[in-house]
Amino acid sequence: MTTPVRFLDLQAIYREDQAAYDAAYRRVMDSGRWLLGPELEAFEAEFAAFLGRRHVVGVGNGLDALALALQAAGIGPGDEVIVPAHTFIATWQAVRLAGATPRPVEPSPGGFNIDAAGVRAALTPATRAVMPVHLTGQPADPAAIAALCEAHGLVLIEDAAQAHGARHQGRPVGGFGRAAGYSFYPGKNLGAFGDAGAAVTDDDALARALRQRRNYGSLQRYAHETEGVNSRLDELQAAFLRVRLARLPEHNARRAAQAARYAEALAGVPGLTLPAPVPGDEPVWHLYVVRHARRDALQAALAAAGIDSLVHYPRPVYRFPPFAGAAPAGRSASDRLCDEVLSLPIGPHLGLADIDRVCDAVRAFCTGPTTP
């Protein structure tokens, strides 16, 4: 049997820069600083420069980045926040944590993301904010959604947890609204070796409010000016993230080359729908998601060939008990999408030969005699 094609290999990412990660560990252990120290300050400055934004505020995880951004922007009980039906559940939970109510929008026809037309159709008198998700690393129509938010006096907070470095019309996502939230969960394009996240903004007052809220509402010990939580990006993770950030452009380029290989090798394969980026967008390919009517059988065939694949996501957020109140009556566009999506392996741990093996197995399944 040939070696398996793994979906994710965090050990490989560690080994690629082991000396630098080990040096970062040593530096922090020798410093005796664990929280709100020089590594966090340096990482915040470096990630801000990477994104071209004024402020990065490191927090404990991506969920907190989104929830704290909403709260710092004044969103709370009684407010509705527009979110995609098809996303990771954290997008909705962030709205709930802020005390507001998520209002779902279905993905645009043929796509995975919401667009400005879908947002416009979902507006109500209670709508106060919009939280689009740049799912799988593809920009979610951010310029048009920003214009709509401007016209209606709505707060735009981008969920950029899967889109570190993606660009729309030449501009990095995460810079179209009032603030954006990033996750550094280990499997993300920019991942820590544990949990971490950040909120980013160009707004000085909002950045200050975020710095307070992540640390019990205080910038100075025992001076608590606002409500807050304990959600800090620790020194060790910040030091590791600095190493991984330096690699991010190269890692994103490897993902793009792999996506191009998939697009070329799988074009025209019967029954298979490939991801189609909006022309002019530069996605960062956090995931490579294809669609097939017999998704489960395709996944089983890949597994038999030693190829990992995953389903992102098995059902829309409103099909989970905590959010069932927001579910539509009939079968939705998200329901249909969730039945067909399959994420093929992509990432810096793979080579183009691995992608070719996946393509061979996918093609064999789609053109094979057992496929009706």
Ligand X SMILES: *Cc1c(COP(=O)(O)O)cnc(C)c1O
Distance separating alpha carbons of residues 267 and 269, to the nearest angstrom = 6
Closer to ligand X by Cβ: residue 87 or 201: 87
Beta strand 101-105 pairing with 80-84: parallel
The stretch near ligand X (CB under 6 A) out of 60-68, 142-150, 294-302, 361-369 is: 60-68
Distance separating alpha carbons of residues 94 and 357, to the nearest angstrom = 39
Among the listed residues 136, 138, 183, 189, the single contact to ligand X using CB under 6 A: 183
Q: Which of 228, 196, 195 is nearest to 211 (CA)?
A: 228
Binding of ligand X by 197 (CB under 6 A)? yes
The stretch near ligand X (CB under 6 A) out of 55-63, 101-109, 111-119, 354-362 is: 55-63
Site mask, ligand X, residues 75-114, x = CB under 6 A? ------------xx-xx-----------------------
Q: Give min distance, CB of 88 to ligand X, in A.
A: 4
Binding of ligand X by 237 (CB under 6 A)? no
Closer to ligand X by Cβ: residue 215 or 272: 215
Q: Give min distance, CB of 297 to ligand X, in A.
A: 27
Distance separating alpha carbons of residues 68 and 157, to the nearest angstrom = 11
Instruction: Name 250's Cβ contacts closer than 8 Å, sequence gap at least 6.
Output: 348
* H/E run at residue 66: helix 62-72
Binding of ligand X by 61 (CB under 6 A)? yes
Number of residues engaging ligand X in binding (CB under 6 A)? 15
Looking at the DSSP bridge assignments, the partners of residue 55 are: 201
Closer to ligand X by Cβ: residue 100 or 362: 100
The stretch near ligand X (CB under 6 A) out of 8-16, 57-65, 223-231, 258-266 is: 57-65
- What is the phi-psi region of residue 65: left when phi exceeds 0, alpha when psi lies from -120 to 50, beta otherwise? alpha
Distance separating alpha carbons of residues 347 and 258, to the nearest angstrom = 8
Distance separating alpha carbons of residues 236 and 26, to the nearest angstrom = 10
Binding of ligand X by 62 (CB under 6 A)? yes
Altogether, the residues listed in the chain come to a count of 372
Closer to ligand X by Cβ: residue 104 or 197: 197
Residues that bind ligand X (CB under 6 A): 61-63, 87-88, 90-91, 133, 159, 161-162, 183, 185, 195, 197
